Chain A
């Protein structure tokens, strides 16, 4: 029950983040909407999946996937932001 509620909260966050990505105009605004909502929402979805049917041995794999996404998502977001910033300020043909 609590797992379903957590997953529903995560799905709501992901939907709001997608709305922000569609509506915003700038790369950095889109990065903010995508980074924050994706991290929180998908972490909530995976946490709800862990709590969904009690404890089972496959939950270690889910926990590893959760840790992997929590580590790699901010790195990817920061990498995209740094790439856009550096190319805009030092590139020959800035967008």
Chain B
């Protein structure tokens, strides 16, 4: 199970490279969304492996907050704000 955690952590690194240099703002938003999903999964795996139930609550709050942030930023950019 720790191998799965390592793979998930390793796939965050190219997403961070995309997050730094991507052609458009939507690419960066998409990379942030994917990285947040992987962080949520890593928190859940850590909670089961380390046998600490508190990390599951942290994972739920992280997923909800990242979802709200991504949807709010997408609606913000849809109206053309931030480009002028």
Residues of chain A whose beta carbon lies under 8 Å from any beta carbon of chain B: 4, 7-8, 10-11, 14-15, 17-18, 21-22, 27, 30-31, 34, 38, 42, 45-46, 48-49, 52-53, 58, 61-62, 64-65, 68-69, 72-73, 75-77, 79-80, 82-84, 86-87, 91-93, 95
Q: Is the interface of B mostly helix, strand, loop or mixed?
A: helix
A58 & B53 in contact (Cβ 8 Å cutoff): yes
A–B pairs, 26, beta carbons within 8 Å:
A7-B1, A14-B7, A14-B11, A27-B30, A30-B30, A31-B30, A45-B41, A48-B4, A49-B1, A58-B47, A61-B57, A62-B48, A64-B60, A65-B40, A72-B63, A75-B71, A76-B33, A80-B26, A80-B29, A80-B74, A84-B24, A86-B78, A87-B80, A91-B80, A95-B24, A95-B25
Known contacts A38-B37, A83-B74; A21 and B30 CB within 8 A of each other: yes
Count how many chain B residues have C-beta atoms less than 8 Å from C-beta atoms of the other chain. 45
- In the assembled complex, which residues on chain A have CB atoms less than 8 Å from the CB atom of B74? 76, 79-80, 82-83
B residues apposed to A, CB below 8 Å = 1, 3-4, 7-8, 11, 14-15, 17-18, 23-27, 29-31, 33-34, 37-38, 40-41, 44-45, 47-48, 53, 56-57, 59-60, 63-64, 67, 70-71, 74-75, 77-78, 80, 83-84
